Chains A and B, each alone.
Chain A
Amino acid sequence: MSSPVTESAPMPARPLPVRYRSTKVRRQRVRAAWYFLAPMLVTLTMVAGWPLLRTLYFSFTDASLSDMGDTLFIGLENYLVYDDGRWFGVLADPVWWRAVWNTAYFSVVSVSLEVMFGVIVALVLNAEFKGRTLVRAAVLIPWAIPTIVSAQMWAWMLNDQFGIINHLLMTFGIIESPIAWTADASYSMWAVIMVDVWKATPFVALLVLAALQMLPKDCYEAAEVDGIHPVRVFFKVTLPLITPALMVAVIFRLLDALRVFDVIYVLTSNSTSTMSMSIYARQQLVEFQDVGYGSAASTLLFLIIALATVAYLYLGRKQLQLGGE
């Protein structure tokens, strides 16, 4: 990640004349580069490429978890098929579309909140105060705890009968009767979002803090001498300068949020009101034993994430070009 401050002028990309291209030294360097890349490429093929292809293959079969050997190729039937006057397949399943909507809603809301709070936390941590190092370390704790642990912790705190959150809210008279945070459909999505925001805000804050610390201090003094209001300085100077870091944070978080599983599974299990695409795929694959159908859902999830990433990178690059020329 490079900030516009330190970015050097782009090199002109002119094709080299042929006689420069394949000198001996150059060939050696290319070969060395391949030697260094090879282990990673092999590993990636094994741990990412192969499972991906397997999933894709299964999504075109009627494979079942109980009997993986005896599978039939059934084409696109797991995705969509018209049979007996009705549509079947993942794409015709309202629960799947509910899961897509839930995931999108969860991703947009939680990532937005995380970015907002992350920036605020980063600005606070960037200020000079006593014990700053300690606070910086403390802020990272939610990020350091495994999601499965923190989600379970929150599940207990949000428990409708014994949870401390209901207890506190009732003690202070904010609510009269306990709320089933994770079971009640009107609260459960927000409970999940809150826990995710609690966990991921430190990550965004850390990335933004790193960007803030690279900002030229003089610019702020210049703005101070010019008497520019701090709020205006934030929106006109700070925010544009930390945009590249924010974009990195957003893409990391977005990819994480689109494939969200653990926090939702621990807090609300298979409830339809919070079901994400990953939970849907797992339910089909493991609980209903339908590997083909579950693989189709996973493949769609993969396509949606890939599409979101490409769109985001494309838009991001366009914006950077507009802002960085």
Chain B
Amino acid sequence: MASVTLDRINKVFGNTHIIKDVDLAIGAGEFVVFVGPSGCGKSTLLRLIAGLESISDGELTIGDQVVNELPPRERGVGMVFQSYALYPHMTVYENMAFGLKLAKTAKETVHERVMSTARILQLGELLERKPKALSGGQRQRVAMGRAMAREPRILLFDEPLSNLDASLRVQMRNEIARLHKRLGSTMIYVTHDQVEAMTLADKIVVLNGGRVEQVGTPQELYQRPATRFVAGFIGSPTMNFLPARLLGADAEGCRVDAAGLAELALPQDASGHAQGDGLTLGIRPEHLRLTAAQGSEGFEIVNVEYLGNEVYVYLEPKQGDTLLIQRSEAPSPWSIGQRVALDPDPEHVHLFDADDRALPAKAARAAA
């Protein structure tokens, strides 16, 4: 178990600046998830920590040791790869023992370590099998076992569940969460799947274009996204965005006018912005209420998706071509072709300025 500190980490490949000034503190025993769209640099960041790529600039500290120049084996990290990276010609036992044998570890210790790891991951029955005789989930467990058997200070996971089917992914997600509770070791986990990030993480790091967009607990990221990118990335179905205009700011908050909505009084502090400034209003699908609209008022329902426990209602937007989504519990009274007005809950409305930064809510209401 060890803490990890990234201090203004940069990575440049040729002319491409992949990682830009990343600062991050990861506490000992924390489960941190790097999440972001593909190409955001999350895997590169993990590989920098592992030592598979060299750091162009900045300082990486593991425990109280600067490890920039250390090869992977001296950093005390274990890594689980997306493709499992098992040695295809070795049995499960050999796969797990291979990395241990070199460290001049006594034979009995190697055996003990492998057996205890196998017990934790329930691999006992599979020890004599070759990887190709295992299912995807089993391979994944072996890959984790191999990384754990060396008892590294930090466990790194590079999209470990991407190659599994949906139901197995849920199951393995649970196993990883329970493993973290049980081992208490520092884990850094990379995924592009925001559900994995939300369910596993103590702390989520949202990356975009090589920069950290926001760091926080899953609750913080969901309830108080710092940028429009985070707001759109976290949560499924994704948050609705509407163009809006600032009408005025006061001590209570501000008033905005959004396309197709009635004038709204919101708790956000807009004191830094002038009247008439363009803003973006964001609201999650579950925080929209629909009411029947008259004539050509409001929005037209273009699709209704029934998912059993809930219903998604899709609305034709006033501007742009991204459909608005409303989520409610089933059954829903709405059907395609009806016109509805939106009634957002001001408590749950987010405002983003022209730079896509979120406007902070006034303190008294922010706690809600």
Contacts and interface: CB of A to CB of B under 8 A. Distances in A.
Nearest to B149: A226
B89 A218 contact: no
A54 interface: no
A227 interface: yes
Interface in B45-84: 50-52, 71-74, 77-79, 81-84
B142 to A, nearest CB: 11
Interface stretch (A1-9, A69-77, A98-106, A121-129): A1-9
Interface residues of B, number: 29
A145 B82 CA distance: 45
A65 B24 CA distance: 88
Interface string B22-50: 00000000000000000000000000001
Contacts of B78: 225-226
Given A227-B72, A227-B74, A9 B133 contact: yes
A227 B83 contact: no
A227 B73 contact: yes
B98 A218 contact: no
A260 B186 CA distance: 63
A221 B86 CA distance: 11
B132 interface: yes
Interface in A216-256: 216, 218-219, 221-229, 232, 236-237, 240-241
A287 interface: no
Contact of A228 (B79, B82, B98): B98
A323 B89 CA distance: 7
B88 interface: yes
Contacts of A241: 88-89
A228 B52 contact: no
A176 interface: no
A8 B133 CA distance: 9
B114 to A, nearest CB: 14
Question: How big is chain A's contact interface, by range?
Answer: 20 to 34
Contacts of B87: 219, 236-237
A67 interface: no
A221 B85 contact: yes
A224 B98 contact: no
B136 to A, nearest CB: 14
Contacts of A224: 52, 71-73
B184 interface: no
A225 B132 contact: no
Nearest to B150: A226
B74 A225 contact: no
B130 interface: yes
Contacts, number: 74
Interface string A68-105: 00000000000000000000000000000000000000
Nearest to A236: B98
A129 B52 CA distance: 18
B191 to A, nearest CB: 17
Nearest to B100: A226
Contact of A325 (B83, B86, B130): B130
Contacts of A323: 89
B237 interface: no
B284 interface: no
A221 B52 contact: yes
Interface in B71-127: 71-74, 77-79, 81-89, 98-99, 102-103
Nearest to A5: B88
Contacts of B102: 226-229, 232
B85 A222 contact: yes
A225 B79 contact: yes
Contacts of B51: 225
A67 B8 CA distance: 92
A224 B75 CA distance: 12
Contacts of B255: none
A221 B43 CA distance: 14
A221 B81 contact: yes
A172 to B, nearest CB: 41
Contacts of B130: 324-325
Contacts of B327: none
| Most A-side CB within 10 Å, residue of B88, B99, B130 | B88
Contacts of B103: 227
Contacts of B147: 225
A99 B74 CA distance: 58
Interface of B: 50-52, 71-74, 77-79, 81-89, 98-99, 102-103, 130, 132-133, 146-147, 150
Interface of A: 4-5, 7-9, 216, 218-219, 221-229, 232, 236-237, 240-241, 323-325
9 contacts: A8-B132, A9-B132, A221-B79, A221-B81, A223-B98, A224-B72, A225-B72, A225-B77, A227-B102
Given A223-B98, A224-B73, 6 more contacts: A224-B71, A225-B72, A227-B71, A228-B98, A232-B102, A237-B87
| A-B pairs with lowest CB-CB distance, top 5 | A227-B73, A226-B99, A218-B85, A222-B85, A225-B72
